[in-house]
Structures are given as C-alpha cells and as structure tokens.
Structure 1
C-alpha cells in the first residue's frame, strides 16, 4: 500500500499517533509518501472533535482536486477526544436515548442537519450510545472512516469507525500492538474489493412468466413481516445527517443494511433484494421493483450474474447476493416433486437472510451455528 499523511489541525496527541502509524506502515513493508499522488491508496489526516468541518475543506471531497489525482484514495481522519469528554458524550446519549419519541433538542449538534435527530435516535437505539456518537463524529468531520483517539497527553485507546457502524476498540497500553492493530485493520479492509461488478446475462424474463411466480409476492410479504418486527435499521440518508452538496462524487447518498433472498425453482435462480446504495430502498416494505434475479456468480467472483425482468425496474442486487449465491453452490441439493415445476435440483436451504443483528441465544435443535475462520473475528471486513 502507498500511504500519505496530510496534516489537518495541529493536535499533539494526533501528531504522535499519525507518526506512529506512518512508522508502522513503513515497518510492515508499505510505502510512505510525502504527498498523495497517482499511486496513493490511503491518506491520513486530522480534524478537531466537536468542530464541524466545511465539506470544501474535507479531503474526502477535495483530495482529487487538491492533489490533481485521477482516483479517490481511502481517507482516514484522526480525531482526538479527552477521556472526560468521551464519557460525557456517551452518558448524554445513554440518557436521551431513553426518551421515545426523541426530543430534537437533545440531538442539536453543531453542523448537523435539522432531521439528524431521527437518524441518531434510530442508530443509538440499535447500536447504543457509541453508534450515535459515531454518526455525529463522522458527520462533523465529513469522513466515513474515522479513528477516534481517546487521550489527552498520550493515546489511551482508539475506536475505528466505518460506514456500517463498526467500532472496534483498540487499547494503546502496548504501543506496538496499538499501531500494528490499526494498520492491519486498515490494510485488511483496503486489500479487499467490493463484489458489485454484476453482470447481466441471458434473455429478459417475460412479464407473463414473472407474474406466474410465487416468490416475488412471498418476498414482499417477508419484507413486511421483517418490517413489522423492525429487523432492519431504517436507512441512513446522508442528507438527513449533514448537508454535503458534492457527496454523490465521493460516497453513496444513503446506506441500508441487509439483504434477503429465496430460491425460485421455475427460474433455477435466487430472487434477492436490490442494493440500497444506488437508491433508497426500505427493506421492510419492498415491492417487485426492489427485487433482482440472481442466476450465478461471475467466474472471477467480482459480482453476481443477473437476469432482467421485462416490464419492471431492474436495479443491481446487493453485494450479499454474491455471498448467498455462493452458498447455494456449496449447499447440498434435492430434487422436488413434479408439481413444483423445478427444472433442476434445488439447494436444500431455500431462503436466506443477511442481517446486522447479534444473537443472544439459539436452540441447536432448530438452528445450526457455523463459525467463521478465526482471522475474520479479529479483522472483519464490512459488506458493501
């Protein structure tokens, strides 16, 4: 990786952390640059806690113009907060999140949009005070990937924030571990690629055949049931948090979590929800225009193979569609009875749900837990 540091405000703790990170990048074999150029993969910068940064000054939106780049490197913003400030903010959110409906005055943070209180309340109720604080910090510094460093004279710990709300806590007592862990998390994320280069294949499915299928209506019903149970967090719209006129060039206008799908025997394909990054999608209240037909995975694994449906909107599926279709390739198959009209054996697991929920307990008589490989527990990579 090629890494450059573009200092923002001069903050002693952050200068120490930035120096430690750049040294660690170098020791791990990465290339440290004096300034961003056409080779740069990562840019580190700094910002002040609680002080809104104008989007015109935020590297997420200006790095290409400022350094005459033809690509957009990943921007990581370092922000420093004292332990006392940090605890006060968490305690504030613990208190105000108890109020339902929320009081907008409790969420009046500098630089945020008037409707931000709704997002902060929803996110805080879902992920706790730390997630509400995360969205405030990201909005104020105009950056998605943020390293929030806790400490006054020296770093004590740090939280690494990202788009989907992850917030791993890294202790700084052992400086070697501290910097190495942060660098490995960043490099792990940037060493992956989003599997969203979907490919349209085959002839469009006729409108007549689509109307005869039972799965589209069943998917819409499943969405309503999930919506009634508030399984999915409400979509996060950037415009509800902060006014950023140039955001479409740097980051999706909204983010919605999760994906669900079910197998359609008549098509020998998976019917899945579309991505919420291209346009607003309420996965708790979908229509047939929010569905995509997944017939396979590209040979190079970079996306799904999809068939369009005549007479309806055909937006791309979520990246999770690749994950789900890949599961189908590995699952055992069964042959259905003739009245199913299945042209080929079908996966033994028909329906799948990708959600951002923790599981407190499960009954092994009805559910099977399959653990991930150990590295994924230490350095998880978020979905796109």
Structure 2
C-alpha cells in the first residue's frame, strides 16, 4: 500500500502499514495466477510466485525466517513456525498479538522499528524472507530494500504476501476485491513453504466458517440498504484523508460484513482524497482505524483523538455518522493487512452495523 506507508512513516514513526509493488488480485485468488504449487501438504519442493508471476522454488523447509512486519510474524506464529523466526521489522505493539502466540512473538528479535535496514536483513542468517510490502520506490533508498540478486547471494529466499504486496501496482488485476480468497491463499502459501500446510488448512477453514456465518446472516439485506462505510486512517494524517479503495483487503472486509465501502469506486488499493469527497459520500458509519500503540491506554487515547477530530473538524461535524455517533474502534492492522484475524474483523463490523442479524462473538 504505497500511499499509506509513506504517509504513516512520515506522520507516525514506528507504526506499520502495508505496501505494494506490482501485480495484484481482485475478488478471488491472487489475481495474477501467482500461487503455490506443492504435490501434497508438507511436501517439497514448493514453487511460489511473485507479483509478476516469476517463480521461486523452495526446496526444503526454512530454518531461519525474517519478516518485514507483525503481519507476517503473526501468520507464522499461528502456523506453528514461530520458533524459526529470527527477526522482524515493524514489531507488534504490546497486546496486539492474539494471546495464544503473544509470549512467543514478544521473544522475536526486532531488526528494525520500521523497515529493516538492508545490511541487517542480509546479515541476519535467514534462509527465508517473508515480505508483506514489496519494493516501495517512493521511500527512496530506505524503501528499496535488498535486490533479488543480493538476497540470493546471502542465501535468502523471498516470499511475498501477495494480497497486500501486489494490490495496487501497474499489473494489478481489474475489478474490486470482495472476498478474502487472496488472504487465505497467503496463509496456504506460507503453510506450504514452512511445511505447516495442515495447520494452514485449519486456519483457512476457521476463517471460512466465520465469513460464511456473516454472509448467510446478511444475505437478505439489499445492496441499496447496506450502510455506507468509511475507514478513517487516522495515522495517515488529517490534512488529507487516505481512502481505502476497491483493491485493498479492507474493501473485502467491509463488503463481507454487509456494508458498502463509500470509496469502492476508486480503482486502486489506497488513494488520497479530499474532505469534500468524504462529505459528499456522507457515510453511515466511520471506522476509527488506528495502529496499535503498545497498550490499551495508548490505543484508547488514539481512538479518542480520532473521534474528537471528526467531531471538531468543521468539514466533518455534519456527517451522518458523526451526528449519530456511529464510530467503530477497530485497529488498522486487522482490517487492511493479510491475516486470519481479518475474518474476525468481518464479524465485528457486521455485528455493529447489523446488530439484529449478527451477534458479536457468535
């Protein structure tokens, strides 16, 4: 997610966001034909492809893994491969990981508070690099990262989370993302390359169960009656809002929850818009999307600040959602980045905007 990362790093150092390179997906699969090929669960070699479809062959399960950020780290922890993670960038804030994996996640060495410096990554001793972002040209030298040749020379294989790394580039597939198939494929892809394919299928199955329950509960709500929904990326800054567009993971989350992303007509993953654009959309609900600050108290303060801004800013004071107090306090990470908890976010949103149809935690 190019714009989001650049704005976030400039405005809130050490708070992470997603990025993109080239290629992408739409409403189903990864949209590029770039996937994972394995003879059977846990079998090697495994072929994985990047955003452009270029394949890499993983010949054996990696022993030392580095992740760009907490998203890849959490996925590996949930897959049962956390004991092989030797470093991460954009580390998870305290309390941001699920309780079952939080202790193990806290022991993972932090190689960079934001992006991992190239020298640290290449010298980490890793044999696999799990990358949520891909290259970020707009970040200059800091966002370039190691080249494929440099990674290869260091003995590090490179695996992208395609659902986020490939969503907004020039080769992205056409059409909106309306399901979490690409996220689920990322889970399967990491399961395949780490030899934890059986666990990956369990995680995907649990996601499917939650999503199908919500879809069935809200199936009778006509499209015209689905509430307008705006994800307010508070950490991207308040001068110019950053809209979640049709190709971002969050668009699928919002759609599956039975709501209507007011910027779904934007053919990108993220795009800067104006407050006049937001006013014209006049959403029924606004998600106060903030990144984890490291404690419940700090998170609550950030949510309070985001809400206070919308209530005090002249351009947004009259919005329907603001007038009616229709705010959702849901973190950015579990909405906009690949992970099994995106399915939980679907339920959380649905339970808020359709309380008579979906019960929280049901």
Q: Same fold (TM over 0.5)?
A: no
The structure with the largest strand share of the pair is 1
Compare relative contact order (CA 8 Å, sep 6+) and give the higher one, 1 or 2.
Answer: 2
Larger helix percent: 2
Structure-1-length-normalised TM-score: 0.30
